[in-house]
Structure 1
């Protein structure tokens, strides 16, 4: 027993499809804007100053003699 797809089905299908596309586009744009904002904020920061590495060692040198 087969069922036919009624005009009401296609109307609801079209409405839901357009609504889903709209939500997807809006959500994607919002997440993209958030990502761009975070990248710009991170790029604007200066990295913390690094401490210079010590060039001398603090241990005794073994002398064989």
Structure 2
């Protein structure tokens, strides 16, 4: 006994595909923003110290 895929099925399939695709994109963007914010929050102290150390070493050699 074969079943055919009706136009209603394809309509629902398209709607669900769009909804889940949008949810995936939004979730990905939110997680990316959260990770970038976390990395920027940690980086300034380490980055400033490393830059200052390099600058001081540069001055010491010249």
With structure 1 as the length reference, what TM-score do the two structures score? 0.68
| Structure with greater proportional helix content | 2
Q: Which consecutive segments of 4 or more residues in structure 1 shift more than 2 A?
A: none
Distance in 1 (CA, whole Å) between partners of 2:34 and 2:45 is: 17
Instruction: In structure 2, list runs of 5 or more residues that go unmatched.
Output: 47-62
Query: Which residue pairs with 1:7 in the alignment?
Result: 7
Distance in 2 (CA, whole Å) between partners of 1:6 and 1:15 is: 15
Larger Rg: 1
Aligned residues: 46
Query: Which residue pairs with 2:45 in the alignment?
Result: 45
Instruction: In structure 1, list runs of 5 or more residues that go unmatched.
Output: 47-65
How do 1:1-65 residues align onto structure 2 when only pairs under 5 Å count? 1-46=1-46
